[in-house]
């Protein structure tokens, strides 16, 4: 019960990764402020928190509207108590070549996915700064460092979050603040977004590369909330993408240009009557998982190693000692 009695705010809490984050913090005893547009999903998340013994406050909120975010933060502090942890998770996206996108769609993705995190951070800081304590977590992506085709709006938003994060971290250090600001960079996830995302593509969209279950990321986010650090990469593909882009960005441009279109679509044509959640939430309680359970990993060795450094270094040192011992004995 690591978060027993703590007040945690989670944006995008109704479905997908946000729903998995809610369950992880609730499992560890937190009282949770739930922010999202979808009322059905919010009520489902609220019931789950209460079933685990916690308190929950579900507040329908459009994070692209700063007045709504501010009002939600105020209500949470009145009804649940001072906010200890704020997780900026809400996002939306649109799939398609940039040349085909409507600019109103691009603007909507930017306002929710990028500015939603800015507004959430501002609301959290307003309350945490006078107390000089608290943690704010920005949910990023490997795509914050390495953009891919067909997701220019989303990649741009995640890049923006990364720059905002760097700038604000420096300001907090200047002010000698005790508030923890962290960012978690994620791989492809098996979440509901691929069933909801607006798409200009001919076939159904899918995550690209190795896919992880949302619980892997949720556990990493809870870990960094109780073990603050600057940044945490989740999954080896995230590490590979970020490091690869530092070493050979031009090569990745060509590689992704050749593979990124087919890699983000299934072989099934999309339903012409398919609805999306770009401007309005879809009704119903959709849970956390998407439709890619069979291909998804429920465990990440890289993330385990990153969050269990003592055990990892102990194992590496032991292996090195054994290797040296064998080498010496053979001489």
pLDDT band at 318 (very low <50, low <70, confident <90, very high): low
Q: How many other C-beta atoms are found inside a 10 Å radius of the C-beta of residue 246?
A: 10
The predicted pLDDT at position 63 comes to 98
The predicted pLDDT at position 77 comes to 98
Of 294, 206, 281, nearest to 13 by C-alpha is 281
CATH class of the structural domain 7-299: alpha beta
Nearest-angstrom CA–CA distance, 243 and 302: 14
Quick: pLDDT tens for 253-293: 999 999 999 999 999 999 999 999 999 999 999 999 999 99
Quick: pLDDT tens for 210-222: 999 999 999 999 9
Q: Is the pLDDT of residue 313 over 90?
A: no
Quick: pLDDT tens for 158-196: 999 999 999 999 999 999 999 999 999 999 999 999 999
Q: How many other C-beta atoms are found inside a 10 Å radius of the C-beta of residue 170?
A: 10
Quick: pLDDT tens for 19-65: 999 999 999 999 999 999 999 999 999 999 999 999 999 999 999 99
Domain boundaries, the chain: 7-299
Quick: pLDDT tens for 53-84: 999 999 999 999 999 999 999 999 999 999 99
Token representation of residue 5: 């009695």
Of 153, 135, 134, 133, nearest to 143 by C-alpha is 153
Nearest-angstrom CA–CA distance, 35 and 56: 11
Q: Is the pLDDT of residue 90 over 70?
A: yes
Residues written for the chain: 331
The predicted pLDDT at position 328 comes to 67
Q: Is the pLDDT of residue 314 over 70?
A: no
Residues 239-260, mean pLDDT to the nearest whole number: 98
Instruction: Judge contact between 49 and 32, C-beta under 8 A.
Output: yes
The predicted pLDDT at position 19 comes to 98
Q: Is the pLDDT of residue 330 over 80?
A: no
The predicted pLDDT at position 41 comes to 98
Nearest-angstrom CA–CA distance, 70 and 122: 9
The predicted pLDDT at position 1 comes to 85
pLDDT band at 309 (very low <50, low <70, confident <90, very high): confident
Of 218, 175, 170, 211, nearest to 194 by C-alpha is 211
As annotated, the active-site residues are 154
Which residues, 6 or more positions from 131, have their beta carbon under 8 angstroms from its beta carbon? 82
- Calculate Rg over the CA atoms of the chain: 20
pLDDT band at 250 (very low <50, low <70, confident <90, very high): very high
Quick: pLDDT tens for 122-168: 999 999 999 999 999 999 999 999 999 999 999 999 999 999 999 99
| Long-range contact set of residues 49-53: C-beta below 8 Å, sequence gap at least 24 | 49/22, 52/23, 52/26, 52/27, 53/29
The predicted pLDDT at position 316 comes to 59
Token representation of residue 281: 């939430």
The predicted pLDDT at position 325 comes to 65
pLDDT band at 320 (very low <50, low <70, confident <90, very high): low
């Amino acid at each position: 019960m690591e978060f027993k009695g703590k007040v945690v705010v989670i944006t995008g809490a109704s479905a997908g990764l946000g729903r998995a984050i809610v369950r992880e913090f609730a499992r560890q005893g937190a009282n949770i402020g739930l922010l999202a547009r979808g009322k059905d999903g919010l009520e489902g998340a609220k019931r789950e928190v209460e079933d685990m013994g916690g308190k929950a406050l579900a507040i329908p909120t459009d994070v692209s509207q700063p007045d709504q975010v501010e009002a939600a933060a105020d209500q949470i502090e009145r009804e649940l108590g001072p906010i200890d942890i704020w997780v900026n998770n809400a996002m939306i996206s649109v799939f398609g070549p940039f040349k085909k996108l409507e600019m109103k769609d691009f603007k909507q993705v930017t306002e929710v996915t990028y500015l939603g995190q800015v507004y959430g951070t501002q609301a959290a800081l307003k309350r945490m700064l006078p107390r000089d304590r608290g943690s704010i977590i920005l949910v990023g992506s490997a795509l914050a460092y390495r953009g891919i085709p067909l997701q220019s709006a989303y990649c741009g938003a995640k890049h923006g979050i990364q720059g905002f994060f760097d700038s604000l971290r420096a300001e907090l250090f200047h002010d000698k603040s005790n508030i923890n600001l962290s960012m978690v960079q994620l791989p492809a996830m098996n979440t509901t977004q691929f069933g909801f995302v607006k798409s200009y593509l001919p076939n159904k969209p899918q995550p690209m590369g190795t896919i992880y279950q949302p619980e892997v990321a949720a556990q990493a986010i809870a870990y960094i909330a109780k073990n603050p650090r600057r940044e945490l990469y989740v999954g080896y593909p995230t590490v590979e993408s970020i490091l690869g882009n530092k070493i050979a960005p031009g090569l990745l441009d060509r590689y992704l240009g050749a593979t990124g279109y087919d890699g983000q679509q299934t072989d099934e044509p999309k339903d012409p009557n398919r609805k999306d959640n770009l401007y309005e939430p879809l009704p119903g309680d959709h849970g956390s998982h998407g439709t890619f359970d069979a291909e998804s990993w429920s465990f990440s060795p890289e993330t385990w190693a990153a969050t269990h450094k003592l055990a990892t270094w102990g194992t590496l040192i032991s292996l090195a000692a054994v290797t040296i011992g064998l080498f010496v004995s053979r001489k």
